[in-house]
């Protein structure tokens, strides 16, 4: 059944060839690696991570100064904002904020997969009129250049005090590469500790495989391929949702009002194509789906079974899969709040 479903899924996918290649190149189940891969031109350094952390918490990176990265991607919680669709004053966000934890193991960013590197998603967030709303890279650079402390921090991190949009993106991406939540019970299990999962959780894992969930939710983050040799940089990875149309859930949860990747490419074949969301720490990222319309993980699992596979699922099976998914929550690292460089006696905001 797993194979049948897998083939059905990839038949609907634009990434058919890619997916087959991945099936060969990747183990379906992987523990979290010790460190994510960083691009050759942006190796992780403590200085860049420190600068990136300050930028991550700095509301001055938004036009009105009303939000920082941490507003919607909260490091005190699941790396999201816990709501369906983020409401920001004067802006219109249509999709639910995904988690920033373990984001270094994604190959594809935004629900519509419009960015394929951490660095480029930073830049997109900054200028997007509905997110940080800086509208143009120049505005970002000017804002930071006016804060004396940042010039020193960029010098320490990059060797000169030229504050550029590339350096800003590299610093924030570097900090994001440190946001790893290791040592979930699943990781302990897959590394060989059989006792890390109980019988119910193991049944859930078996069902997760047998039902076909793994055909999309595979790899480090259960979200498809991680950046690396198996996925050519820039290719992206996305799948169709809902796979079967006309379910009772479709109207109830308004699943097809937003056409996903189609809005980026205007390619009709990209209608309802979405990035595959990570399942790591999934217990801490409710509500679920691109529009955050489903508030309970049990219901999310049932919906996936019915709209992706058109296949009934029993309450007990749902319960077992949820028990397994709960083992994907790891140990969050302690984060010390940064101090943001000041502009004594002056505000830079409009």
Tell me which residues touch a second copy (CB under 8 A): 54, 57-60, 64-66, 71, 74-78, 81-84, 86-90, 282-284, 286-287, 295-298, 322, 325-326, 329, 332, 334-340, 342-349
Here the tokens at position 187 are: 């990781």
Helix (H, G, I), strand (E, B) or coil at 130: coil
Minimum gap (Å) between residue 233 Cβ and a second copy: 32
Here the tokens at position 134 are: 């800086």
Here the tokens at position 268 are: 């009709």
If the CB atoms of residues 164 and 343 are measured against a second copy, the closer one turns out to be: 343
How many of the other CB atoms lie within 10 Å of CB of 71?
A: 16
If the CB atoms of residues 312 and 345 are measured against a second copy, the closer one turns out to be: 345
How many of the other CB atoms lie within 10 Å of CB of 129?
A: 12
If the CB atoms of residues 19 and 70 are measured against a second copy, the closer one turns out to be: 70
Residues 188/198, Cβ–Cβ less than 8 Å:
no
Whole-angstrom Cα distance, residue 292 to residue 214? 22
Residue with tokens 């189940």: 29
Q: 286 Cβ partners below 8 Å, 6+ apart?
A: 82, 295, 296, 297
Whole-angstrom Cα distance, residue 334 to residue 75? 9
If the CB atoms of residues 186 and 238 are measured against a second copy, the closer one turns out to be: 186
Minimum gap (Å) between residue 347 Cβ and a second copy: 4
If the CB atoms of residues 248 and 349 are measured against a second copy, the closer one turns out to be: 349
Minimum gap (Å) between residue 40 Cβ and a second copy: 32
Minimum gap (Å) between residue 84 Cβ and a second copy: 7
If the CB atoms of residues 71 and 206 are measured against a second copy, the closer one turns out to be: 71
Minimum gap (Å) between residue 126 Cβ and a second copy: 17
**DSSP codes, 23-63:** HHHS-SS-PPPSS----TTS---HHHHHHHHHHHH-GGGST
If the CB atoms of residues 66 and 166 are measured against a second copy, the closer one turns out to be: 66
Minimum gap (Å) between residue 219 Cβ and a second copy: 22
Whole-angstrom Cα distance, residue 117 to residue 255? 27
Minimum gap (Å) between residue 90 Cβ and a second copy: 7
Minimum gap (Å) between residue 301 Cβ and a second copy: 9
Q: Which secondary-structure segment (H or E) carries 239?
A: strand 239-240
If the CB atoms of residues 41 and 92 are measured against a second copy, the closer one turns out to be: 92
Whole-angstrom Cα distance, residue 215 to residue 208? 10
Residues 112/274, Cβ–Cβ less than 8 Å:
yes
């Amino acid at each position: 059944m797993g194979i049948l479903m897998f083939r059905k899924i990839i038949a609907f996918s634009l990434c058919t060839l890619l997916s087959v290649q991945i099936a060969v190149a990747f183990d379906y189940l992987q523990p979290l690696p010790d460190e994510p891969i960083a691009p050759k031109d942006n190796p992780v350094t403590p200085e860049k991570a420190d600068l990136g952390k300050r930028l991550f918490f700095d509301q001055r990176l938004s036009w009105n100064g009303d939000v920082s990265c941490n507003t919607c991607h909260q490091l005190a919680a699941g790396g999201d904002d816990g709501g369906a669709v983020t409401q920001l004053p004067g802006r219109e966000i249509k999709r639910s904020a995904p988690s920033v934890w373990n984001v270094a193991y994604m190959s594809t960013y935004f629900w519509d997969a419009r960015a394929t590197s951490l660095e480029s998603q930073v830049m997109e967030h900054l200028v997007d009129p509905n997110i940080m709303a800086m509208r143009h890279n120049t505005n970002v650079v000017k804002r930071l250049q006016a804060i004396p402390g940042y010039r020193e921090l960029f010098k320490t991190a990059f060797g000169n005090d030229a504050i550029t949009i590339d350096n800003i993106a590299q610093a924030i991406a570097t900090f994001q590469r440190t946001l790893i939540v290791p040592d979930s019970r699943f990781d302990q299990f897959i590394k060989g500790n059989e006792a890390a999962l109980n019988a119910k959780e193991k049944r859930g894992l078996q069902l997760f495989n047998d039902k076909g969930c793994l055909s999309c939710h595979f790899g480090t983050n259960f979200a498809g391929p991680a950046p690396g040799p198996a996925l050519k940089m820039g290719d992206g990875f996305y799948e169709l949702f809902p796979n079967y149309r006309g379910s009772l859930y479709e109207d109830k949860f308004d699943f097809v009002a937003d056409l996903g990747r189609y809005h980026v490419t205007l390619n009709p074949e990209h209608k309802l194509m979405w990035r595959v969301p990570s399942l790591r720490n999934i217990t801490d990222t409710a509500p679920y789906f691109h529009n955050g319309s489903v508030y309970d993980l049990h219901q999310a699992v049932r919906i996936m079974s019915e709209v992706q596979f058109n296949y009934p699922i029993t309450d007990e099976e749902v319960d077992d899969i949820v028990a397994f998914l709960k083992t994907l929550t790891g140990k969050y690292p302690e984060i010390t709040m940064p101090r943001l460089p000041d502009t004594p006696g002056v505000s830079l905001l409009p």
